[in-house]
Amino acid sequence: MRDEWWRGSVTYQIYPRSFQDANGDGIGDLPGITRRLPLIADLGVDAVWLSPIFRSPMVDMGYDVSDHRDIDPVFGTLADFDAMLSEAHRLGLRVILDQVLNHTSSAHPLFQESRSSRDNPKADWFVWADPRPDGTPPNNWQSVFGGPAWEWDARRFQYYLHNFMVAQPDLNFHHPEVQDWALDTLRFWLDRGVDGFRFDTVNFYFHDRMLRDDAADFRVKARPAFKTYDMQYHLFSKNQPENLVFLQRVRSLMDSYGATVTVGEVGESHHPIEMMGEYTSANRLHMAYSFEMMEDRFSADFFRRTLSEFQRLAPQGWPCWAFSNHDVPRHATRWARHAADPGRFARLCAMLLLSLPGSICLYQGEELGQTQTDLSLDEIIDPQGKAFWPEDKGRDGCRTPMVWEEAHPQGGFTDGLPWLPIKAPQRVHAADRQLGDPASVRATYKAMLALRRREAGLRTGPIEFIDAPEPILAFQRADVTCVFNLSPDPATLEFAGNGRPLLAQDADWSAGRIRLGPNGALVARAA
């Protein structure tokens, strides 16, 4: 089972810019991460995932990479990375790097060479296309960040594809040399000792060779969309069959290094569960990272349907579930209307998430019950927030720095001026307020992580749902019974027998009844 350590594992996502600053420049860095690793190991997680730390102009905060095989100076050096990796391994933590292979920065030497002419050695390494006779882009594909997914380049008199920002040109994975370059990039980091990769936008690698138009999304009539990207059904701009073949090459490489792991971010609004299964079967990715539980939906019915759909549509696949990450509003705020009080709700979410089948990802600060930061327009750095304000305030609100010390002027994050502000509502969730407090949110995460490690049924066992009315979600994981009250009001469930709590929040099971207080949660074994 050591080779499959990732099954049922829990990974802690670090957003490096906002984790810990060690040199006072207001931006988190690798030495800062190394300093705080013992606290992550103390939680009891299996691995850490680092959002991009590679050289970048930082137009999209590191997701626009200009050198995939070096560390950006704002984070440190390769020596700092090696030191961090060594310390993580000493503490029993595996390290997963965020690899952005779909596109590069427009400042990347590969793109600079590609755009220099139509006949240079890298001319076809990116997706170039001639304009239509009237000068408009070759098709109707839209960018995730707004507007057409094509940018005119006066050097080549052609358009290049950018599924994301203009400064993020898409690589042409139909070119065999591009595939080989991507695999060589993975080898570079595997040879340094990393344990795996989280692949950003993994279903975007290949495009339709014929550049056919995407269809209109029939659902737009029923719901407004302020992004033109959301008005289309992306049949041709992504999700191409060649992608699955390439991922088998990736898996073969990973397997040659032993107990490694791949996690793919499958961003898709049509058939997402089915696609997660497709991407994690037949020796492709180990796991797929889903956004299904990172939306506004929060009900027993939603969780039952989502988990049941995965069982039905992806029986050979393996999911990685998360409630929050660096791209979405924090769930403590997103679902706040279901909370009896913030602490109770954060503890409920901890017990629920860590009892789910599959693997789990926690986002930094989640273990403290951290909330979304409310930022004004002048405080926003994220280009998405600037483009779509106020309908979409961007991603900075979930990316503000970690608060380690409540009384420190900058929350213990930096001795300088933090790159994003640290505000009073976030200070109350400081780590130093919770360390050693058995009633804290952090203590619940730690206890539930220990329970998940100890109980094989919670880690890798099947799930079987128990019939229960809304707002109660109940299921069995092997011989462990998990029951959650997803509302701020008390609830009861008639359930035969008595139970011995393994972990509980305002809940008990006796005389054929499970009593749940507001946001009550129970993980128990039948007595």
- In order of 50, 100, 205, 352, 369, the CA distances from 53 in angstroms are 7, 11, 21, 31, 26
The two beta strands, 94-99 and 196-199, are parallel
Residue whose pair of structure tokens reads 């008990």 in the numeric block: 508
| Cβ-contact 282, 248 below 8 angstroms | yes
Phi and psi based region of residue 227 (left: phi greater than 0; alpha: psi -120 to 50; beta: remaining) = beta
| Closest to 504 in 3D by CA, of 493, 492, 514, 496 | 514
Q: Where are the alpha helices (DSSP H) in 217-299?
A: 241-256, 272-279
| Cβ-contact 168, 104 below 8 angstroms | yes
CA–CA separation, 379 vs 280, rounded Å?
39
- In order of 15, 286, 310, 326, the CA distances from 316 in angstroms are 31, 11, 10, 28
- The DSSP call for residue 195 is -
What six digits make up the tokens of 519? 């946001």
CA–CA separation, 292 vs 277, rounded Å?
13
Please, which residues bridge with residue 480 across strands?
Answer: 477
| Closest to 104 in 3D by CA, of 81, 127, 121, 120 | 127
User: Which residue numbers are catalytic?
Assistant: 200, 265
CA–CA separation, 288 vs 306, rounded Å?
14
- In order of 6, 96, 124, the CA distances from 195 in angstroms are 10, 6, 32
CA–CA separation, 11 vs 360, rounded Å?
6
The two beta strands, 499-510 and 261-265, are unpaired
| Closest to 69 in 3D by CA, of 56, 57, 83, 59 | 56
Residue whose pair of structure tokens reads 């002027």 in the numeric block: 409
Residue whose pair of structure tokens reads 């898709």 in the numeric block: 268
Angle at 472 between CA 467 and CA 475, to 5 degrees: 50
CA–CA separation, 489 vs 472, rounded Å?
11
